[in-house]
Amino acid sequence: MTSSQLFEQIRKKKSYLCVGLDTDITKIPKHLLSSDDPVFEFNKQIIDATHAYCVAYKPNIAFYEALGPKGWESLQKTLNYIPKDIFTIADAKRGDIGNTSALYARAFFEQMNFDSITVAPYMGEDSVKPFLQFQNKWVILLAHTSNSGSADFQLIESKVTGRKLYEEVLLKSQEWGTKDQIMYVVGATQSEKFKEIRDIAPEHFFLVPGYGVQGGDLQTVSKYGMNRTCGLLVNAARSIIYASNDHDFASAAKKESISVQQQMEQYLDLYLK
């Protein structure tokens, strides 16, 4: 999917919601456990209930890895079930030396057909570039994440440039690929920094986790983060998929998605440049 196709979907659905399929087999409604593939059954019903209101799905790969080979099968079935016009994100935060990153890219872009993958920047250019060799596929690079540990290293200021580590990541990585290949993870909990971050990367899409359970503020993120092509994919996982833990889990997820989509519709009207 290209960035114009993604923006087209955002305009069509009046939404920049990404639903996080962080499907924990110990948390899904108990009545599903008797199915052959409870994780896929859960995901299928969530997708049926929410696909009209979101433009992306983001399975966090850890949830599937924790279940061994069976988990990877559930992941593959989920990916195949997602409608083709919805952007898919392998939230894997992978990264390794060149030849190894190339294999991770093979796993997620060829073995499975994800549109994009989250990548950790610590090992630098040659750990990221192999993911950029695929047509119409995206790297979503960690920049300023949503968790408390984001303060440990991401805020270290360079003696030479005065810039923080995450700013160096945002700048340096723009030498590695275009705004039609690279997105950045910027946590919703970092909302007050969105204005500065937008200045450093005016045209790139941001994947924004931390809304919902982690407490980020959607209006501030939208006001300061939106650009001419929206430029935001705001992720909500637990607040949607676990809105109910009962037989009505899918309709509860639908209700929550509609609520978020309606807020987003307002913010698109207000803030789309």
Active site residues: 93
d(CA 151, CA 265): 32
Considering beta carbons, is residue 34 or 99 the nearer one to a second copy?
A: 99
The nearest distance, CB 8 to a second copy, in angstroms, is 31
d(CA 137, CA 219): 29
Note the residues at the interface with a second copy (CB under 8 A).
Answer: 22, 24, 60, 62-63, 65-70, 72-73, 76, 91, 93-98, 100-101, 103-104, 106-107, 111-112, 120-128, 142, 145-154, 156-160, 162, 165, 168-169, 172, 209, 214
Considering beta carbons, is residue 24 or 180 the nearer one to a second copy?
A: 24
The nearest distance, CB 32 to a second copy, in angstroms, is 19
The nearest distance, CB 92 to a second copy, in angstroms, is 9
CB of 263 closer than 8 Å to CB of 17: no
Considering beta carbons, is residue 9 or 118 the nearer one to a second copy?
A: 118
Q: Is 141 helix (H, G, I), strand (E, B) or coil?
A: strand
Q: Is 83 helix (H, G, I), strand (E, B) or coil?
A: coil
d(CA 225, CA 74): 34
Considering beta carbons, is residue 88 or 145 the nearer one to a second copy?
A: 145
Q: Encoding tokens for residue 210? A: 């931390």
d(CA 165, CA 149): 14
The DSSP symbol for 33 reads G
HSE-CB at 154 with a 13 A cutoff on CA atoms is 21
d(CA 132, CA 154): 23
Considering beta carbons, is residue 10 or 241 the nearer one to a second copy?
A: 241
Considering beta carbons, is residue 177 or 223 the nearer one to a second copy?
A: 177
Phi, psi of 235, rounded to the nearest 5 degrees: -90, 135
Sign of the torsion formed by the C-alpha atoms of 5, 9, 14 and 20: negative
**Where does residue 93 fall: left (phi above 0), alpha (psi -120 to 50 degrees), or beta otherwise?**
left
The nearest distance, CB 201 to a second copy, in angstroms, is 17
The nearest distance, CB 272 to a second copy, in angstroms, is 29
The nearest distance, CB 163 to a second copy, in angstroms, is 9
Q: Which residues, in sequence order, are CB contacts of 151 under 8 Å at separation 6+? A: none
CB of 121 closer than 8 Å to CB of 141: yes
